[in-house]
Amino acid sequence: MQEKIIANYASHGFACSGERHLRIQDNFSFSEVTTDQIRTLIREVAKDKPDAITVFCTNLRGAPLAAELEAALGIPIYDTISTVVWKSLKLAGVNPKRVTGWGRLFREVA
């Protein structure tokens, strides 16, 4: 699955300079990944100096870590759940800036 995600990003012009994964294959197990594990994975990817980092998976709790890690690393972090929430709010006519703690996407892009 990881290779397909990377290939999909590449097909849209986004090169993947680094990646980490947990080799988990069932959806429920992702919900058991701790925030410390997610922090570690994000920090490891940040060593590759990407323009942005995505937390790409159902049931990973990356959104609440985005603001903290963006401040520490200086790299935008886009969690797949938070990006869907952001877009849904925009489509509903609700200002995304009302969401706090989920990173700069919600603060800077109105």
Question: What is the model's pLDDT at position 32?
Answer: 81
Range of the domain at 28: 2-108
What size, in residues, is the chain?
A: 110
Question: What is the model's pLDDT at position 49?
Answer: 94
What stretches in the chain show pLDDT beneath 50?
Answer: none
Q: Could you report the per-residue pLDDT of 56-80, keeping only the tens digit for each?
A: 887 888 999 999 999 999 999 999 9
The per-residue DSSP string of 55-86 comes to E-STT---GGGHHHHHHHH-S-EEEHHHHHHH
Q: How far apart are the first and last CA of the chain?
A: 32
Question: What is the model's pLDDT at position 109?
Answer: 60
CATH number for the domain harbouring residue 79: 3.40.50.12500
Q: What total of structural domains would you count in the chain?
A: 1
